[in-house]
Amino acid sequence: MALGALISAYHEDDQGGLRALFPLAGRTLFEYQARCASAVGAAPIIVMVERIPAALNDAFERLRGEGITVVPVSDGSEAASRFEAGALILQLADGLAPDIAMLNRLAEYAEPAIAIVPDDEAHADFERIDGVSRWAGAALVDGHTLGSTAAMLGDWDLQSTLLRRTVQAGARRVAAEDAWAAALLARRPEDLAGFERRLLVATRGERTDWASRYVLPIVEEFATERLMDSRLRPEWLVFAGLFLTIAAAFCFSRGWLWPALGLLILSTPLDLVGARLASLRLQPLPPRHLARRLLWPAAGLAMLALGWWSSRHGGGWGAFFAAAMAAAFAEAARIEATGSNVPPQRWLFSRRNAIFGMVPFAAAGWWVPGLVALAAYAAVSFFVVQHFQHGVRVEGD
């Protein structure tokens, strides 16, 4: 059954501004609501709004740039006409910062359903349904109920009236679970501060190597917070990391060793920050994103370029051989570890670990010994993966 979304965006705060325009994660609360609705497959996304200030129109344009089209309407009848007959509609309350898990669960139902929270002090801002429960700000309503409500609405508030009629029609009540506690109904901009912090924390990916866990977190957090309110597309950061890595390979081939290493260091957090920005905007980068896949071979090219230059400037054939062995063992370990959960994976050879591992050798001027050390590091990582992939399996048999 088709799923649409109806978002209310006409209530004002004490200063006369729309709650829908409260800032959240570098954008507006409304944009977050629309992205959540799109993420659970809702289309069309209709926004009920009495007036469209410039800031809200800008939000519409940004969403369209991300491939999410929202349609503003000014009354309930027009809203009802935008949905297919018999469609289920995801209703989001004005000022709601929804939890995506809550919306995913609601979207699984094939009948009207209302998310509820207990009628207690912690949920005092949510609309009361009865003596024991309040509306959690999200519901599935059917198109017929929306149409009939709009026809008899008069001066009543569409959001509350539609909720009441859905309750009276006997809609399923879905009690909130612990994971739903992140949902928030904001009446003031400062209400969203804690929710925004939870979003930032939730976008931290699994830091699978020691460089991203112990060296880069401060840089990653700072860059993510500063860039989340920009119009920068997340994939541009990944492409920037790829460009810097290829540029480092060129610099190594010309003998510009320190500039090359500096470019590699600059590239290390970019894909992490890009992935977090994409998650904040509820449009995660695909696992097989081309630029992300090319970062690994580009780093190998940079290492080979360093080995080639060193072999021609006093390092002998052993420099290039060490670089080639490091690249070969690293690729073999990567292939072996794909789809597995090797316990000491954080300490194994990786692009970021290799870059930061080369720094102390470079500081001492030991570029060739550094390549030898990387080759040994990659070889040990390969045999560790082999042990956990095959040795443990044999013992289990």
| Cα four-point dihedral sign 160, 162, 165, 170 | negative
* Region of poorest pLDDT, from 35-44, 248-257, 278-287, 370-379: 278-287
Over residues 234-238, mean pLDDT: 94
Show the tokens assigned to 140: 């599935």
Q: What mean pLDDT comes out for the span 306-329? A: 95
Cis peptide before 72 (omega within 30 of 0): no
- Residue 339's pLDDT is 66
pLDDT of residue 394: 43
Residue 375: pLDDT band by 50, 70, 90 thresholds?
very high
Query: Which pLDDT band, with edges at 50, 70 and 90, does 220 fall under?
Result: very high
Q: Where do the structural domains in the chain lie, given as residue ranges?
A: 3-195, 203-396
pTM: predicted TM-score of the whole model, two decimal places: 0.81
Q: Residue 161 in contact with residue 91, Cβ under 8 Å?
A: no
The pLDDT of residue 387 is: 83
Q: What is the pLDDT of residues 247-296, one digit of tens each?
A: 999 999 999 999 999 999 999 999 999 999 998 888 888 878 899 999 99
* pLDDT tens for each residue of 138-158: 999 999 999 988 888 765 788
Helix axes 234-254, 270-280, angle to 10 degrees: 170
Burial of 124 (0-12, 13-18, 19+ CB in 10 A): exposed
| Contacts of range 129-133, beta carbons closer than 8 Å, 24 or more positions apart | 129/163, 129/167, 133/173, 133/175
Report the pLDDT averaged over residues 359-379.
97
**What whole-number distance in Å separates Cα of residue 181 and Cα of residue 70?**
27
Provide the pLDDT for residue 208. Answer: 82
Residue that wins the pLDDT comparison between 21 and 289: 21
Q: Specify the CATH architecture of the domain 203-396.
A: Up-down Bundle (1.20)
**Nearest alpha-carbon partner for 262 in 253, 252, 254:** 252
Q: What is the pLDDT of residue 182?
A: 56
Average pLDDT rounded to a whole number, residues 369-383: 96
pLDDT of residue 150: 86
Residue 397: predicted pLDDT: 47
Residue 172: phi and psi, rounded to 5, are -60, 140
User: What confidence tier does 386 reach under pLDDT thresholds 50, 70, 90?
Assistant: confident
Strand partners, 7: 47, 92
Q: Is the pLDDT of residue 102 over 90?
A: no
Instruction: Report the C-alpha gap between 1 and 18 in whole angstroms.
Output: 32
Does the domain at 3-195 match CATH 3.90.550.10? Answer given as yes
Q: What's the pLDDT tens digit per position in 181-219?
A: 557 889 899 989 888 888 888 888 777 899 999 999 999
Band (pLDDT 50/70/90 cuts) for residue 179 is: very low
Residue 26, pLDDT score: 84
pLDDT for the residue 141: 94
Give Cα separations from 239 to 65, 219, 275, 292 (angstroms): 19, 18, 12, 8
The b-or-e profile of 22-36 (16+ CB within 10 A means b, else e) is bebbbbbbbbbbbbb
Per cent of the chain over pLDDT 90 is 61
> What mean pLDDT, rounded, does the chain reach?
89
